[in-house]
Amino acid sequence: MTTATATKLPPSQHEFAEVIHRLEAGGAMLPDTPENLMQIIGIYKAYAVPMDFYWRDLLYIAERVFLNPLPFFKYFLPKEYLELHNHYAGDDADLRIWQKGEATAHPELLAFMEKGETFKMPKLLHHLWHDRVNMEFAEACMQAMLWHGRDMGWGKFDAYLDTPEYKAAADRAIKAYFKGNPLMLGLYKLFPEMFIEQVRQLSYYSNLGLFWEVMAPVFFEMSDLYDSGGIKSVPDAMNFLVNGIFAVAGRPIYHHVYIGGEMYEIIPKSCGFTWLYEAALPYVEAVFYRTAPFRGTKSYNAQVKQIPDEQKDFHYGILYADVFPVGTAGIPPTLLMQDMLHFLPPYLVDYYRQHCRGEDDALIQLGITFQRSMYCVTSAVIQALRGALLYPLDDPNPKHLQANRDFFEKQIDRFRRPEARLRDIQSQNYR
Amino acid sequence: MADIVDIAVTADNFKTLVAAVQAAGLVDTLKSPGPFTVFAPTDEAFAQLPPGTIHTLLQNIPQLARILTYHVVPGKLMAADIAKLDSLTSVEGSPIRVSTADGFEVKNATVLAPDIEADNGVIHVINRVILMG
Amino acid sequence: MLSTLIWMPMLGALIVGFLPGNLTASRLRFIALAIASLILLITIGLLSQFDLTASGLQFQESLPWIPHLGLNYQLGIDGLSLPLLALSSLLTWIAIYGSHEVERSRIYYALILFVNAAVAGAFVSQNLLLFVIFYELELIPLYLLINIWGGPKRGYAATKFLIYTALSGVLILAAFLGMTWLSNSTSFDYEAIITQGLPLREQLILLTMLLVGFGIKIPLVPLHTWLPDAYTEASPPVAILLGGVLAKLGTYGLIRFGLGLFPETWGIVAPGLAIIGTISVLYGALSAIAQKDIKRMVAYSSIGHMGYILLGGAAANSLSLVGTISQMVAHGLILALLFHLVGVIESKVGTRELDILNGLLNPIRGLPLITSLLILAGMASAGIPGLVGFISEFIVFQGSFPVFPLQTILCVVGTGLTAVYFVILLNRTCFGKLDNYQAYYPKVTSQERLPALVLAAIIFILGVQPNWLVRWSETTSTTLIAAVTINQQVAINPPPSTDN
């Protein structure tokens, strides 16, 4: 029924014409090979397990830990949150994305939280030895969203954080939280903006937690489908993501805090914030594209403007990252890579053993695989945006097709700079 | 004449739209004097959205209301009026790009039937659900 | 026992060269390594039986050979030659262990063992002509080793090396002949040569010929121009032998035959020698700072560190001579480690350019252990306390400062400059961010790691327990100096003349 759209328009003159044509044919930025597919599905599953921890802990911090001045145990996820039902898995799901899974924490995650990389110890020892899920990565993603919030052009979440309604709601919650604590209340009177800013940060915790609550079952379902043969190609995987994006687009984004048994709505659901506009798109923009400059074994020269003046020109996200572990949170995602290392499916472990330095540098190999997979996710976002805001790929009107192409080209233009890894992922040798 | 809601109800191909409006609690708003210009997606338009989209929206009324109010512009703007403009501001707050150069187009939707007049406004039938951004 | 150290490696060379059968490179390496291990064991035996308190030669052997030529098979060892012999045995073992998958292995290992035999012979000879024979014997094997297994410019480098070193051999032979005939001695035996009676002018001419001859070998600035090419083009094991062992032939000859046989005139040439030493130190360091090739940088560093040896020798007191001998050993160890590590880096990364190398300390895709040891070697070379380089340099400075204060201070500045170029080397090579595009290096094998670890351990242990290095040479240096001081005093305060 659909004719190949590539024949309706003359070939693109863009530097990445091949990628543009692939997108116009319904594909992804990542080439469609079985090796790529195996890599990305495997890494999605390895990503989803720690993500299960991240979203639960993010919500725990946003909702319960709240303004605790000394949150020493904020990474110690209570049973209540481990058993919190994911809204998109299990029998009582709003929309059951992960068909075979449970709504509570993933069993592999629970097994890892018991033993870590070493052996079964009291939780405190695991925490101090840093033999745990690296929650610092999730917090770094949250900070990226907070820091780039206003400038991104997506959604109304960040603007709402400055409104009087938000401040009033935050004020109520702060007073309730510190009831009976004259020291903190006194500090609040002296420095109200400081506390409100902390609450804003906590709202972003909630935002990111609700975002990832959706992504985890999506990735688990993709892994299950791949294992059972339901996903046979990279475009299949991408289309699953596109459908997932639309299906959950309307999910509300809110910030509820539980203080003394009562729920305080800092950002109520009635604000109308959606998962797509207020969580997913800002997240992609902040974490995939922008983030913050690489910290670690590299210094920057301010005089030659090695760091862009405008935040919107930042290009330090996962799509641009040089995936070498440097130990800091944020991008490059060293901490996430270490988390993913614990949950790799066996076929990926074998695959990494056969290349480069085998097990010794599996960390970097899986980091590069992760980069490929995030290009697939970004392709899904681009295709979803095209689907929402532009025309179908098989639209008969050439002006519409040209509009599509212009949109694709503008998106791919962001990957023309030398740091972008779009070029590298076209080859299988980039490991 | 009938108001906007009545026209939608009696017509054949706005079942999804009517259900959504009712679920979102916007019936009274759209029955009020207004006037409003409504870009009404057909049932086929809603069907084009991937499965689950409407399901999730129906579970979350404020979010649904936001999508619906994006299809409404205050004032009664006929096709001729719109032809003079580049962009309209929806009730939701975000802008809607319009063009009449190559057929009557509202964002990425084509108007199938313009200028369906109602008591409290005008309906233009579109073939896609339009979204912000 | 000393003869064994000459004839065993020669026999070993013949075995490796002519053993029948189609032996693989690794098998031949194993055989050569076995022979080298045997040599090392004998050397350790020698060390254990050496009497630390006895001055004079030990383990002497004496056989007349060609008496009417004055050539006798006289061997003996003392605190000057023993540490160098030990160094030679160790570095031969390291060089053989560090060679792997060499083409034409038979001749390669045979040549290395032959060089070891010749060097051992040179160190233990107590007959001047015998010394020259062994000195010349190592020439052709080294030329072949550089020319066959070297880098792209090896032909040029090997030929230059051959010409320079042959010239040095000629000068040394001429000096020896002059010394023997002019002093009317019956043979070339070391003990038989007395130069004190000769007129001052003749002594100076002979000593200068010796200085130039050995100065080419050490090398000293401005006779050094063969070294950067030869060291850089030679393969790492050969470079280890060149810099670690062969260069010490030069300094050994200078002390043994220069200081030892010309006690009267040594004091006259000493200030000039100290200046040349200082120039070598500063020139080597400054040239190293300018280099963009890390192996060439190490080569120039070698020139610089030989300058300290000369400074200590020029000062000619017992402390500075101990420092000189210690610096010979320390320099050999550190240089061997540096060449080995640079060789590993080159073989894994594929380049030696400072502009390209970066970020090798990366634990996952870099060469973390090798670069860590490179940092250690750099520190040792720069004289950081706790490592053997500090010990030897400090003793040299301590001994030389009373005699040549200005030159010593300039040499200390040179030590500081060493830190400069090593920081440049380490900063560019080890630190920084390894780039994804380039970083698909093969893993470092344990065979490549072992020599580096052994050398690093020795450098560290001797740095922390310097007595184990220094005690061999203390008695001998006192003996050597005794002759110089007495004769200097005699020269300065001549006995009252009997004519009146």
Q: Which chains touch A (3 or more CB pairs under 8 A)?
A: B, C
Q: At residue C55, what is the residue type? A: S
Tokens encoding A244: 């997932």
pLDDT in tens, C319-331: 999 999 999 999 9
Contact A265, A273 (CB under 8 A): no
Contact B105, A391 (CB under 8 A): no
Under the phi-then-psi rule, with left for phi > 0, alpha for psi from -120 to 50, and beta for the rest, what region is C328? Answer: alpha
Residue A3 has pLDDT above 50, yes or no: no
**pLDDT score of C22:** 85
Q: How many helices (H) and strands (E) does chain B have?
A: 7, 7
Task: Convert B33-46 to b/e letters by CB count within 10 Å (16 or more is b).
Answer: ebbbbbbbbbeebb
- Nearest-by-Cβ selection for B62 from A247, A248, A270: A270
Regarding beta strands B36-41 and B121-126, do their DSSP bridges make them parallel or antiparallel, or are they unpaired?
parallel
For chain A positions 259-278, those within 8 Å of chain B (CB to CB) are 269-274, 277
What's the N-to-C CA distance of chain C in angstroms?
Answer: 55
Task: Convert A342-381 to b/e letters by CB count within 10 Å (16 or more is b).
Answer: bbbbeebeebbeeebbeeebbbbbbbbbbbbbbbbbbbbb
**pLDDT score of A205:** 96
Q: How many CB atoms lie within 10 A of CB A269?
A: 16
Question: Which residues neighbour C213 within 8 Å (Cβ) at sequence distance 6 or greater?
Answer: C167, C168, C169, C170, C171, C172, C175, C253
Contact C15, C31 (CB under 8 A): yes
Could you tell me which residue, C194 or C442, shows the higher pLDDT? C442
Distance of CA A108 to the CA centre of its chain: 20
**pLDDT score of A2:** 38
Task: Calculate the alpha carbon distances from C66 to A107, C2, C130, C133 in Å.
Answer: 90, 20, 11, 13
Interface probe for C, chosen from A299, A316, A337, A356 (most Cβ of C below 10 Å), is A356
Q: Which chain A residues are Cβ-neighbours of B23 within 8 angstroms?
A: none
**pLDDT score of B103:** 84
- What is the chain B residue with the closest CA to A94? B56
Q: Which chain A residues are Cβ-neighbours of C443 within 8 angstroms?
A: 357, 360
**pLDDT score of C490:** 57
Find residue B41's DSSP bridge partners: B126
Q: How many CB atoms lie within 10 A of CB C199?
A: 9
Contact A145, A208 (CB under 8 A): yes
Mean pLDDT, residues A109-135:
91
pLDDT in tens, C143-188: 999 999 999 999 999 999 999 999 999 999 999 999 888 888 778 8
Residue B41, H or E segment: strand B36-41
Tokens encoding A149: 């919030």
Which of these ranges, A353-357, C55-59, C402-406, has the smallest mean pLDDT? C55-59
**pLDDT score of A297:** 63
Mean pLDDT of chain C: 91
**pLDDT score of C498:** 57
Homologous superfamily, domain B4-126: FAS1 domain (2.30.180.10)
- CB distance from C51 to chain A under 8 Å? no
Calculate how close chain C gets to A361, using CA atoms only, in Å.
Answer: 5
- CB distance from A76 to chain B under 8 Å? no
Cβ of A356 within 8 Å of Cβ of C364? The answer is: no
pLDDT in tens, A355-411: 888 888 899 999 999 999 999 999 999 999 999 999 999 988 889 999 999 999 999
Tokens encoding A216: 């985890």
Cβ of B57 within 8 Å of Cβ of A270? The answer is: no
What HEC string does chain A produce? CCCCHHHCCCCCCCCCHHHHHHHHCCCCCCCCCHHHHHHHHHHHHHHHHHHHHHHHHHHHHHHHHCCCCCCCCCCCCCHHHHCCCCCCECCCCCCCCECCCCCCCCHHHHHHHHHCCCCCCCHHHHHHCCCCCCHHHHHHHHHHHHHHHHHHCCCCHHHHCCCHHHHHHHHHHHHHHCCCCHHHHHHHHHCHHHHHHHHHHHHHHHHHHHHHHHHHHHHHHHHHHHHCCCCCCHHHHHHHHHHHHHHHCCCECCEEEEECCEEEEEECHHHCCEHHHHHHHHHHHHHHHHCCCCCCCCCCCCCCCCCCCCHHHCCCCCCCCCCCCCCCCCCCCHHHHHHHHCCCCHHHHHHHHCCCCHHHHHHHHHHHHHHHHHHHHHHHHHHHHHHHHCCCCCCCCHHHHHHHHHHHHHHHHCCCCCCCCHHHHCCCCCC
Residue C438 has pLDDT above 80, yes or no: no
Mean pLDDT, residues C277-302:
96
Mean pLDDT, residues A128-147:
93
Mean pLDDT, residues C113-138:
94
- What is the chain A residue with the closest CA to C444? A357
Structure-token match 């004769």, residue found: C487
Kindly indicate the confidence band of residue C458, based on its pLDDT and cuts at 50, 70 and 90. Answer: very high
Contact C2, C77 (CB under 8 A): yes
Question: Which residues neighbour C5 within 8 Å (Cβ) at sequence distance 6 or greater?
Answer: C39, C42, C43, C46, C85, C89, C117, C120, C124
Could you tell me which residue, A137 or A2, shows the higher pLDDT? A137
Task: Convert B19-30 to b/e letters by CB count within 10 Å (16 or more is b).
Answer: ebbebbebeebb
**pLDDT score of C494:** 58
pLDDT in tens, A57-82: 999 999 999 999 999 999 999 999 99
Angle value at C-alpha A281, between A279 and A287, nearest 5 degrees: 90
Structure-token match 């009026």, residue found: B81
Sequence length of chain C is: 500
Find residue C353's DSSP bridge partners: C293
Calculate how close chain A gets to B43, using CA atoms only, in Å.
Answer: 16
Distance of CA A299 to the CA centre of its chain: 27
Q: Which chains touch B (3 or more CB pairs under 8 A)?
A: A
Q: Which chain A residues are Cβ-neighbours of C436 within 8 angstroms?
A: 322-324, 368, 424, 430
Do C and B make contact, counting contact as 3+ CB pairs within 8 angstroms?
no
Interface probe for C, chosen from A306, A323, A361 (most Cβ of C below 10 Å), is A361
Closest CA to C113 of C201, C227, C34, C200: C34
d(CA A385, CA A298): 36
Residue C487 has pLDDT above 60, yes or no: no
Tokens encoding A331: 């991008």
Q: Which chain B residues are Cβ-neighbours of A391 within 8 angstroms?
A: 108
Do A and C make contact, counting contact as 3+ CB pairs within 8 angstroms?
yes
- Interface A-B, measured as beta-carbon pairs within 8 A, has a size of 66
Instruction: Read off the DSSP letter of residue C67.
Output: G
**pLDDT score of C323:** 95
Strand order through the sheet with B87-89: B72-74, B36-41, B121-126, B109-118, B105-106, B95-99, B87-89
- CB distance from A416 to chain C under 8 Å? no
Burial of B102 (0-12, 13-18, 19+ CB in 10 A): exposed
Kindly indicate the confidence band of residue A1, based on its pLDDT and cuts at 50, 70 and 90. Answer: very low
Mean pLDDT of chain B: 90
- What is the chain B residue with the closest CA to A399? B102
Mean pLDDT, residues B104-117:
90
**pLDDT score of C300:** 96
Closest CA to C276 of C390, C420, C410, C164: C410
Phi (first) and psi of residue C20, to 5 degrees: -70, 160
Task: Calculate the alpha carbon distances from A182 to A167, A175, A187, C68 in Å.
Answer: 21, 10, 8, 110
Tokens encoding C318: 């017992």
Find residue C62's DSSP bridge partners: C74
Residue B1 has pLDDT above 70, yes or no: no
- Nearest-by-Cβ selection for C443 from A324, A357, A364: A357
For chain A positions 309-368, those within 8 Å of chain C (CB to CB) are 322-325, 356-357, 360-361, 363-364, 368
Closest CA to A200 of A257, A250, A239, A246: A257
Cβ of A388 within 8 Å of Cβ of B133? The answer is: yes
Cβ of C433 within 8 Å of Cβ of A324? The answer is: yes
pLDDT in tens, A232-248: 999 999 999 999 999 99
Residue A190 has pLDDT above 90, yes or no: yes
For chain C positions 134-163, those within 8 Å of chain A (CB to CB) are none
Q: Which chain A residues are Cβ-neighbours of B107 within 8 angstroms?
A: 389
**pLDDT score of A5:** 47
Q: Which chain B residues are Cβ-neighbours of A273 within 8 angstroms?
A: 63
- Give the residue extent of every domain in chain B: 4-126
pLDDT in tens, A324-341: 777 677 788 889 999 999
- Nearest-by-Cβ selection for A243 from B50, B65, B67: B50
Percent of chain B predicted with pLDDT > 70:
99
DSSP C102-152: -TTHHHHHHHHHHHHHHHHHHHHB-BHHHHHHHHHHTHHHHHHHHHHHS-T
Instruction: Read off the DSSP letter of residue C101.
Output: S
- Give the residue extent of every domain in chain C: 266-500
Contact C364, C444 (CB under 8 A): no
Q: Which chain B residues are Cβ-neighbours of A93 within 8 angstroms?
A: none
Mean pLDDT, residues A253-276:
94
- Give the residue extent of every domain in chain A: 5-51+133-425
Q: Residue C365 half-sphere exposure, CB side, CA atoms within 13 Å?
A: 24
Angle at which helices C200-217 and C154-182 cross, to 10°: 160
Regarding pTM above 0.95, the answer is no
d(CA B14, CA B34): 20
- Nearest-by-Cβ selection for A95 from B55, B93, B108: B55
**pLDDT score of C491:** 55
